[in-house]
Amino acid sequence: MEKLTLQVPASAAGTRADVFLASAAEGLTRNAAQRLLLGGHVTAGGAPVEKSLRLEGGEVLEVEIPDPEPVDVRPQDIPLDVVYEDSDVIVVNKPKGMVVHPAPGHPYGTLVNALLSRCGDSLSGVGGELRPGIVHRIDKDTSGLIIAAKNDFAHRALTAQLADHSLARTYECVVTGNLREDSGTVDAPVGRCPADRKKMAVVPEGRRAVTHWEVIARYPGFTHVRCRLETGRTHQIRVHMAHIGHPILGDTVYGAKKPVPGLRGQCLHAVGLRFVHPRTGETVELSCPLPREFQEVLRKLAARA
């Protein structure tokens, strides 16, 4: 069990206890903060704190965060679209809707469950028990290429390439509005959104995040864009495109006005991947086609032009 002691600053006077707790405790969502408060895990002066309590400032909150319930990671025979595989790495074209690794709320049906079934014990352990082989992640409702390591040697080599930006990841997306330039770069730090801990945002205290983009095609009210990640922050492309006033089509979390019929989530696909093979030293460059629903969006936009 993790224990935290939080001093409520005077500037937080009048703030609800659950809102303050979610903003002050790293990685804690507001729902999780409310569960802690309702469970009596947050006290002030020995007395439980109600979630709706308005803080006065100056209080000292004692927070107990129970250990997470264990997630049983089991192999599942789930078909995978394997783009590349050898004894060191496997690259999969992940479908939209698939979660990358098990977590509370998503114990089964994940990419990890499928990889365990296909690869058995030949996945690296660097990422921990819940993330065997996982080098990087893509969102549940983003499709496309993701690489996993079959041993610790490959995992460490690929992680180093992520750190020095030599592992190149290319995405395509459709954004709302028309970008004025044909190409550009968004260099803006990304961190937890102060108002909603489940979201990310461009914030001064965030980690440096760089996205390079270029226009592929223009349509009335929309733009087909290719993005190359220099860094890999959570939701980076979604946050950056929204930050410059062009949220991704269908991404209602980050500013798109409404869902798109026939499109699950955001119109975003990891189309390309380039890395140096950890054992041979040769450059491996891979690509995969746009999913059918993405192609259908482009067809409809072209028909309207």
Q: What pLDDT score does 163 carry?
A: 87
Instruction: Please report the domains of the chain, with CATH numbers, ordered by start residue.
Output: 2-65 (3.10.290.10), 69-163 (3.30.2350.10), 165-305 (3.30.2350.10)
Distance CA 212, CA 165 (A): 13
Tell me what the mean pLDDT of segment 7-28 comes to: 84
Q: What pLDDT score does 4 carry?
A: 83
From the list 83, 92, 87, 88, the residue with the least C-alpha distance to 112 is 92
Burial of residue 130 (number of CB atoms within 10 Å: 0-12, 13-18, 19+): middle
Q: Quote the percentage of the chain above a pLDDT of 70.
A: 94
Q: Over the stretch 125-169, which tens digit does the pLDDT of each residue have?
A: 766 666 788 899 899 999 999 999 999 999 999 999 998 989 999
Interacting residues of 302 by C-beta distance below 8 A, sequence separation 6+: 219
Which token pair is 298? 């482009």
Q: What pLDDT score does 95 carry?
A: 96
Active-site residue among 18, 81, 121, 139? 139
Tell me what the mean pLDDT of segment 189-204 comes to: 87
Q: Are 238 and 248 in contact (CB under 8 A)?
A: yes
Q: Quote the percentage of the chain above a pLDDT of 90.
A: 67
Q: Over the stretch 45-89, which tens digit does the pLDDT of each residue have?
A: 889 999 889 999 999 999 988 765 555 688 999 999 999 999 999
Report which listed range, 104-108, 110-114, 118-122, 181-185, is most confident.
181-185
Whether 251 is a known active-site residue: answer no
Q: What pLDDT score does 1 carry?
A: 67
- Beta-strand relationship, 210-219 and 183-187: antiparallel
Q: Over the stretch 197-215, which tens digit does the pLDDT of each residue have?
A: 678 999 998 889 999 999 9
CA distances from 148 to 86, 105, 125, 263, 269 (A): 11, 23, 11, 27, 18
The SS3 call for residue 200 is: strand
Distance CA 201, CA 175 (A): 17
Interacting residues of 158 by C-beta distance below 8 A, sequence separation 6+: 89, 135, 147, 149, 167, 275, 278
Q: What's the pTM?
A: 0.77
CA distances from 81 to 78, 86, 94, 270 (A): 10, 15, 7, 14
Distance CA 37, CA 7 (A): 16
Phi first, then psi, for residue 115 (nearest 5°) are -65, -40
